[in-house]
A and B are shown apart, each in its own frame.
Chain A
Amino acid sequence: MTFDVKAIPLVANFNQMMAQREGAMVHGIILGIFCLGFGIFLALTELATHNSIADRAMEDRQNSLGQVIPKTIHDNNPVLDTLTLKDDEGEDLLIYRARQNGQVTGVAYEVHGSGYAGRMKFMLGVDAEGKVLGVRALSHKETPGLGDKIETKKGDWILQFVGLSIGNPPLEKWKVKKDGGKFDQFTGATITPRGTINAIRSGLEFFAANRAQLLEVK
Chain B
Amino acid sequence: MSQAATATISGPFAHNTNTVQRTMFTVVLALSPATLFNLYLFGWPSIFLFAVTIGACLATEAISLLLAGRPLWRTLTDGSAILTGWLLAMTLPPWAPWWIGVLGAVIAIPLSKQAFGGLGQNLFNPAMVARVALLVSFPVVMTAWIAPHPLFSDHSPSVQQSVAITFGGEMPDGVTAATALGYVKTELSRGVPVAESLTEYGRDTTLTYTPDLMDLATGYKPGSLGETSAVLILLGGLYLMRRRIITWHIPVTVLGTLFVMGTIFNLVDSSRFAPGLFHVFSGAAFLGAFFIATDYVTSPVSEKGQIIFGIGVGLLTWVIRTFAGYPEGMAFAVLLMNSVTPIIDQYTRPRLFGRTRKGEPLPIKVSP
Interface residues of A (CB under 8 A from B): 116-117, 143, 146, 178-179, 187-191, 194
Contact = CB atoms under 8 A, between A and B. Distances in A.
Interface string B330-343: 00000000000000
Contact of A143 (B139, B143, B186): B139
Nearest to B139: A188
Contacts of A178: 206
Contact of A146 (B139, B189, B206): B139
14 contacts: A116-B325, A117-B325, A143-B139, A146-B140, A178-B206, A179-B190, A187-B140, A188-B139, A188-B140, A188-B143, A190-B186, A191-B186, A191-B189, A194-B189
A190 B140 CA distance: 11
Nearest to A195: B189
Contacts of B189: 191, 194
B139 A194 contact: no
Contacts of A179: 190
Given A188-B140, A194-B189, 15 more contacts: A116-B325, A117-B325, A143-B139, A146-B139, A146-B140, A178-B206, A187-B140, A188-B139, A188-B143, A189-B139, A189-B140, A190-B186, A191-B186, A191-B189, A194-B190
A79 to B, nearest CB: 36
A156 to B, nearest CB: 20
Interface of B: 139-140, 143, 186, 189-190, 206, 325
A68 B96 CA distance: 41
A66 B35 CA distance: 59
A116 B325 CA distance: 7
A20 B275 CA distance: 75
Contacts of B139: 143, 146, 188-189
Contacts of A188: 139-140, 143
A194 B187 CA distance: 12
Contacts of B325: 116-117
A10 to B, nearest CB: 59
Nearest to A146: B139
A192 to B, nearest CB: 11
A1 to B, nearest CB: 70
Most chain A beta-carbon neighbours within 10 Å: one of B139, B186, B206: B139
Contacts of B206: 178
A188 B141 CA distance: 8
A143 B140 CA distance: 12
Nearest to A175: B190
Contacts of B140: 146, 187-189
Contacts of A191: 186, 189
A50 to B, nearest CB: 43
A68 B2 CA distance: 95
A116 B324 CA distance: 10
Contacts of A190: 186
Contacts of A143: 139
A118 to B, nearest CB: 10
Nearest to B136: A143
Contacts of B143: 188
A190 B190 CA distance: 10
Contacts of B186: 190-191
A29 B186 CA distance: 63
Contacts of A187: 140
B173 to A, nearest CB: 13
A116 B189 CA distance: 9
A55 B139 CA distance: 43
A60 B189 CA distance: 35
A143 B142 CA distance: 15
A146 B190 CA distance: 18
Contacts of B190: 179, 194
